[in-house]
Amino acid sequence: MKVHSFTHKLILLPIYYILHHNLIFGYLHKIFFKIFRYKKYKFYLKIKNLPTSHRASFLFKTYEYNDRKLCEKNLTKKNKCIIIGGGIGFIPVIVYHKTRNNVLIFEINKKIIHNLKKNLLINNCKYMILNKNLSLSPKKNSLFYFNDNFLETSGYFKTKDKIMVDNVYYKKVKNFSNFNTLIIDGEGAEEYYIKHLFKLKNIKYVIFELHNNLLSKEKVKQIFENLRENKFALSDKCFNSYYYKKIK
């Protein structure tokens, strides 16, 4: 589904990125606003490794724009959501208030868990957080890379700061089969979960941000082939984020 024309993208993208990652605007937000407000929701940002330039996205409300647009437009009470990557809680809060169903969140970064929980609580969400990596095989640990930006924690973007993260096997997660929607923003992790969709019989809807800066052309191509092979069809998209539904 074509959401934005080429001309539309040509006009929007430069404006989006000038505002989205801007040191001056980010500094203004840090000094004068401190918290992030979106509609009726508010989010605390007590996170040490949050680059000042990224705060511009809070000032201009471009933070997680793609995924937020897809969630707000498409999610309803039918969706019971698993979220890979809790972050500050922005997408989990949007998801809960759109669906009114408990959200299951996986967040591997221990340094941001307290802030994440606080934001979910102040926005009156019902949730369960697992501070582990969701694994689709029984292995105990997975290798991830950390850096000075918590938004870029990844198993694909290599840095000097690497760590073994505890896994939780999906078959060991309580009530896992009750969830039918998978939302992935894991800095390349979309490749892993979509590759193994055949194991997730309960998943009927998938929203993911495609990190083609971290994945080879071959892996990107394979992602869409895996979706087709598992009978998922494109329903909506916003820039590099996609919403797929399983075909009955």
Mean pLDDT of 41-70: 91
Q: Reply yes or no on whether the pLDDT at 216 is more than 90.
A: no
Quickly list DSSP for the chain. ---S-HHHHHHHHHHHHHHHS-HHHHHHHHHHT-SEEETTEEE----TT--GGGGHHHHTT-TTHHHHHHHHHH--TT--EEEE--TTSHHHHHHHHHH-S-EEEE---GGGHHHHHHHHHHTT--EEEESSEEESS--SEEEEEE-S-GGG-BSSS--SEEEEEEEEEGGGSTTGGG--EEEE-STTTHHHHHHTGGG-TT--EEEEE--TTTS-HHHHHHHHHHHHHTTEEEEEEETTEEEEEE--
What does pTM read for this prediction? Answer: 0.89
Residue 214: pLDDT band with limits 50, 70, 90? confident
What pLDDT is attached to residue 150?
A: 61
CB 118 within 8 A of CB 215: no
Place of tokens 């870029």: 152
Q: What is the CATH number of domain 64-246?
A: 3.40.50.150
Q: From the centroid of its chain, how far is CA 138?
A: 23
Mean pLDDT of 82-89: 94
Tokens of 89: 């809680």
Output the CA–CA distances (angstroms, integers) from residue 113 to 11, 35, 45, 53, in the order listed.
37, 17, 12, 22
Of the chain, the percentage scoring pLDDT greater than 90 comes to: 65
What are the boundaries of each domain within the chain? 64-246
CB 19 within 8 A of CB 60: yes
> Tens digits of per-residue pLDDT, 52-65?
888 999 999 999 99
What pLDDT is attached to residue 215?
A: 83
Mean pLDDT of 75-98: 97
Q: Reply yes or no on whether the pLDDT at 192 is more than 50.
A: yes
Q: From the centroid of its chain, how far is CA 169?
A: 20
